[in-house]
């Protein structure tokens, strides 16, 4: 099986977040991959993400200095925080033949669902902040990235009005009442 190219490392994610150094890569690598292939792809687009992956595949962690190296560096925190949001649920609950189970160690107490949701919300807010910074960087430096299409720039610009993550479309400004409704 071919090696999958990741733009960040497990080590970096563990260094900048509060996750344990002994968290198994079996849980963290898929979370990083999802953060990259789903969330980051939504910001960068397919072509620019493919270009960054090709550079990392070619040069490893020693991508030459320049606009693409700057972009890879700016993606690090977004990928780390987004991966932690995903991995928190994966390590708390596991699907087995018995269904969804929690497997606490005899010396470890698993947090309840509201506390886990609070932790996820914290890291999601951090990821949203990193996404906003990344989107602004891309728009301010779009001439450095020919892979960034006009459509990608329009999508990024539109998203800047509400860069925070939300599970549903709220349909516009909150707290506003329409007349006669």
Distance set, CA 7 to CA 96, 106, 109, 114, 152 (Å): 31, 36, 33, 31, 20
Question: What confidence tens digit (pLDDT) does each residue in 150-165 have?
Answer: 877 777 777 666 556 6
The answer to whether position 156 is within a domain reads no
Of these ranges, 1-5, 89-93, 95-99, 133-137, the one predicted with the greatest mean pLDDT is 133-137
The answer to whether position 45 is within a domain reads yes
The answer to whether position 5 is within a domain reads no
DSSP code for 146? T
The answer to whether position 16 is within a domain reads yes
For residue 127, the enclosing domain spans: 10-145
The answer to whether position 69 is within a domain reads yes
User: Count of domains in the chain?
Assistant: 1
The answer to whether position 177 is within a domain reads no
Question: What confidence tens digit (pLDDT) does each residue in 47-95 have?
Answer: 899 999 999 998 888 888 899 999 999 999 999 999 998 888 788 777 7
Contact status, residue 87 vs residue 28, Cβ threshold 8 Å: yes
The answer to whether position 181 is within a domain reads no
């Amino acid at each position: 099986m071919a090696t999958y190219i990741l733009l960040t490392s497990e080590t970096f994610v563990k260094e900048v977040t509060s996750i344990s150094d002994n968290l198994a890569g079996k849980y963290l690598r898929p979370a990083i991959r999802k953060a990259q292939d789903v969330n980051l792809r939504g910001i960068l687009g397919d072509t620019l993400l493919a270009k960054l992956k090709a550079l990392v595949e070619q040069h490893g962690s020693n991508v030459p200095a320049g606009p693409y190296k700057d972009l890879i560096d700016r993606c690090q925190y977004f990928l780390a925080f987004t991966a932690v949001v995903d991995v928190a649920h994966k390590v708390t609950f596991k699907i087995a033949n018995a269904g969804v189970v929690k497997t606490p160690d005899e010396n470890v107490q698993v947090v309840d669902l509201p506390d886990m949701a609070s932790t996820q919300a914290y890291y999601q807010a951090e990821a949203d902040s990193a996404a906003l910074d990344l989107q602004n960087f891309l728009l301010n430096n779009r001439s450095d990235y020919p892979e960034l299409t006009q459509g990608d720039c329009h999508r990024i610009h539109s998203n800047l009005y509400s860069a925070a993550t939300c599970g549903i479309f709220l349909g516009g400004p909150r707290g506003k009442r329409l007349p006669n409704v």
